[in-house]
Chain A
Amino acid sequence: MRLGVLFSGGKDSVYACWRAQEKDTVTCLITLISENPDSYMFHTPNIRFASFQAEAMKIPQLCQPTKGIEEKELEDLRAALAGARDCYGVQGIVTGAIESVYQAARVQRICHALDLWCFNPLWQADQIDYLRTLIKDGFRVIVSGVYAYPFDASWLGAELTEEMVMSLAQMQERYKINPSGEGGEIETFVLDGPLFRKRIEILRASRIYAQYRGQYIIEEMRLAEK
């Protein structure tokens, strides 16, 4: 089956893409570029660099701008999925949804309306096990944004390690955060993984942080041989 992956460049969409590639053919990545920093469904920091990831994976990317206004966002998503169907002949859409019934149900409805299959290969995954699997499978993931208590500035730009997974597990216990960040607590950016033909090297980046909200903003990067 020809598949399009809803792609933000964060770990969930990259991992979902990998699983999809193992079973079927991924013919395009679909990226919604939101102009609203508090987008309901599509995260924003570093999204413009998702095109580097697409290039590193050698998969065509379809970009759809969105104003990021809640209900309008769904129309933009629908237009993007219709575009993937019409331009790349995709028969199904893949998402990185884990727990979010809200996101998953909305994508399911749009897929149904467009006569597309819908796949959620991370659905209901145990989040801590999943984070460990990511590391074990060779994904290199950095934290590109934090948006909740008790994340401090030291998380920004830090690479996902076994120790970090342990801290996230403790924070899940203590503060009820989603350790994978699906509730918007953290955002991530993938630098490398088994499906990358080239890896991403960050040359310059800056951090902004105040009161448990911060972003690691990539300013310059390049693709490096593996």
Chain B
Amino acid sequence: MNGKTEILLVDSCYRPDSLSQYEFVHPVQRALERAGSSCQICHYNSVDEECLKGCDKIVLCGTALKDNGYLDHLDKYRWLEEGIKPVLGICAGMQVIASIFGGEIISRSEPAIGLEWIEVIRSSPLLGPSRKIEVFHLHSHDVSLPDTFLSLAGADEAPEAFSHCSLPIWGLLFHPEVRNRWILECFANL
């Protein structure tokens, strides 16, 4: 061990090593590595006990707007239920977490695209104190808040960010790798 935090990046894109990986996985990887962590990428199809054991934390990365294949394979993320490692779900990753813990994934009539101000409504180690922050959106599904989760940003009925009440599991509907890399640094150092 070199003493670095080992982070497993789960790639939820339409196929392993896809063109989308440059856009949704590598930027997250660079931000975490700049924060001193070391990262390993694994496609959601091939996450197994060995790679889960070998890491200290897990990030579920997002996908392209039209890439909703992961929604048909939510059973591949059952390992999340164990809740043994800190997990951060980004966009698609938050949707997966919501679904695994009993929430709903809700299709939007129009996708959310671009920068938008959101309200952090509850203070947390990940997002800091309550205030407004500007975030980058790229999603066509919202989530409902699972029973065991608290909303950290946005309204309770349409959370922008949430965390589990007792486990170190977090979700962000927006993309912190765009304009908000401090959140990834914060997760790396939690």
Contact = CB atoms under 8 A, between A and B. Distances in A.
Contacts of A19: 19, 22
Interface string B98-110: 0000000000000
Contacts, number: 61
Nearest to A97: B23
Interface in A157-209: none
Nearest to A3: B19
B167 to A, nearest CB: 29
B180 to A, nearest CB: 11
B136 A101 contact: yes
Interface string A99-139: 00100010011011001111111111110000000000000
A29 B13 CA distance: 24
A26 to B, nearest CB: 11
Contacts of B23: 119-121, 123-124
A112 B22 contact: no
B115 A101 contact: yes
Contact of A117 (B67, B111, B114): B67
Interface residues of B, number: 22
Contact of B66 (A3, A118, A122, A125): A118
B114 A121 contact: no
A101 B179 contact: yes
A24 interface: yes
B178 interface: yes
Interface of A is mostly: mixed
A23 to B, nearest CB: 4
A20 interface: yes
Interface residues of A, number: 26
A108 B23 CA distance: 13
B19 A101 contact: no
Interface of B: 17-20, 22-23, 26-27, 30, 64-67, 111, 113-115, 136, 138, 177-179
Interface of A: 1, 3, 19-20, 23-24, 92, 94, 101, 105, 108-109, 111-112, 115-126
Given A105-B114, A122-B22, 14 more contacts: A3-B19, A19-B19, A23-B17, A23-B18, A23-B19, A101-B136, A112-B66, A117-B66, A119-B23, A120-B22, A121-B22, A123-B27, A124-B26, A124-B27
10 contacts: A23-B17, A23-B19, A92-B66, A108-B138, A112-B111, A112-B113, A117-B66, A118-B64, A118-B66, A123-B27
